[in-house]
Homo-oligomer: A and B are copies of this chain.
């Protein structure tokens, strides 16, 4: 028997969640049965996708769903040894039992912080890598436009494109992120779409057009990008955040796909399992050499997960928001 805790949703939030919408609840986890492992959570991810779930899909009085990295502290499953580090989607629990399904063993690099496996070396990094190089068929030296370039995926996309010798323009809605992209990540041009007229700024920033538009936004961003696409251009479609709630303007410039012979292709990270070992090798090297930079905000302590969630929706995080549960 192991004493544990869980983060519960106890009330459906109205707008940005408040501290009282959550509770830290004690729990007891049994010893592993045959075939099971006992995992101690080490790092937990808090992510924007969680908020819509609070309106209904997330049950009240149960542990919040979510992903993280944990350590196997007892194993009766031959696939796992005590001490193995595993990526999991087991939710916001200090300890949990698993039959091993959904656990992915990772081998942390001793020269990198474990937290990079939550972003640049994790799912968002693989999304960026596969979406840009495989779906987007990026060629060295091309002209690249990345929307939400300050985000976990976009910032990696933009930097991989720089590594490949491309001219890279990013858009963001935040001046602090814009400064980081220009000064730290080394983008060729950055557009703040909240303070600049998007279409005019994009035209000025892309004198040689766009070969690959990495799409995270949709709507007005897509319409603007379509006017700048070069013949044979590619639009890997990773997200369309402007349209998820049914709001925003419809897209009117899709006819430009025709004579431009533009390709749009939707994808998700799980399409790139076959690239994973190459991705881990490339990204580990880029992180160690400092060619891929990142930002992360780490809150110390399991009980601070609600604070992290609230901070996420108030935009208080710089880069990836992580809760450290244990060393």
Contact = CB atoms under 8 A, between A and B. Distances in A.
Copies in the complex: 2
Interface in A218-270: 218, 222, 237-240, 243-244, 246, 249-252, 254-268
A271 interface: yes
Nearest to A262: B266
Nearest to A251: B251
Contact of A266 (B238, B252, B260): B260
Given A250-B252, A251-B250, A251-B251, A266 B257 contact: yes
B265 A239 contact: no
Contact of A255 (B218, B249, B258): B218
B222 A237 contact: no
Given A249-B250, A250-B250, A255 B240 contact: yes
Nearest to A255: B240
A258 B251 contact: no
A265 B254 contact: no
Contacts of A246: 252
Contact of A263 (B238, B258, B265, B268): B265
Nearest to A246: B252
A264 B261 contact: no
Which size class do A's interface residues fall under? 20 to 34
Contacts of A243: 252, 254-255
A153 to B, nearest CB: 12
Contacts of A238: 258
Interface centre among A246, A260, A263 (most CB of B within 10 A): A263
A261 B267 CA distance: 5
Nearest to A250: B250
A256 B264 CA distance: 12
Nearest to A233: B266
Contacts of A249: 250
25 contacts: A222-B254, A237-B254, A237-B257, A238-B258, A239-B255, A240-B254, A243-B252, A243-B254, A244-B255, A250-B250, A250-B252, A251-B251, A251-B252, A256-B266, A257-B264, A257-B265, A257-B266, A258-B266, A258-B267, A261-B267, A262-B266, A263-B263, A263-B264, A264-B264, A264-B265
Interface of A: 218, 222, 237-240, 243-244, 246, 249-252, 254-268, 271
Which 5 residue pairs spanning A and B have beta carbons closest together? A250-B250, A257-B266, A240-B255, A258-B266, A264-B264
Given A251-B254, A262-B266, 11 more contacts: A237-B258, A239-B255, A240-B258, A243-B254, A246-B252, A257-B265, A258-B268, A261-B267, A262-B265, A263-B263, A264-B264
